Amino acid sequence: MTIIPAIDIIDGKCVRLTKGDYTRLTQYNEDPLEVALQFEDAGLRRLHLVDLDGARAGEVKNWKVLEKIAARTRLITDFSGGISSEKNAEICFNSGAAYAAVGSIAVKDEEELIRWLLRFGPDKFIIGADVRFEKIVIRGWTESTSLTVFDLIGRYLTKGVKQYFCTDVEKDGLLQGTAIELYKKIMNRHPMADLIASGGITEIRELDELRQAGCTGAIIGKAIYENKILLSDLKRFL
């Protein structure tokens, strides 16, 4: 299982939100590159980079941060937040992202996303499935839908997309544990998906549980910044 540390960005700085609430923000570092270099020095190979300004605005904003991290590290970076047009996706890839992580567009405009898949390749995309009570939420978790996470993943598996990260927004940023039962359900229904767990991971033992459930990756954010999980603790997963 691949460990993927997260860096969330507002105004070019490394922050974390609680349950996606922009009013419940904690700033951890002025320089996201410095944080990314710490992750690389610890032996981690992947990075989940979230443009929170972009998510709120509906278009990519912090691509310069991505560009700097891509130029100064060898981390395999996925970038998300505000990728709402083909031009945004192009900016993402030109700035050094290995993958574009998309959510709202996958729900709102399947036809448009299919055009991107045909142009860039389905292997360049990760579908971000943000859920509340198994239903997809979009636009920075502000809009609920009737679409289930199971149906969303099933829809895009048929289009060739293999990677999905799933965040239970009721658990994100609370440090109260991850949605292990939800991930088990998803893997039971879609065993061919590369499922990346995200949100609420607090203890090392949860990573073992996620691996046993069939998750191929785990995104960890606040637990690292709050020293609940030390980078040295992650060495056995590398």
- End-to-end Cα, the chain, rounded Å: 8
Exactly one of 78, 130, 168, 172 is catalytic; name it. Answer: 130
CA–CA distance, 193 with 191 (Å, rounded to integer):
6
Active site residue 11: no
Task: Report in angstroms the alpha-carbon separations of 95 from 18, 20, 185.
Answer: 28, 25, 36
Tokens, residue 41: 């020095």
How much helix, strand and coil, in percent to the nearest 5, is found in the chain? 40, 30, 30
Tokens, residue 71: 């130029």
CA–CA distance, 207 with 43 (Å, rounded to integer):
17
Active site residue 172: no
Q: What is the set of active-site residues?
A: 8, 130
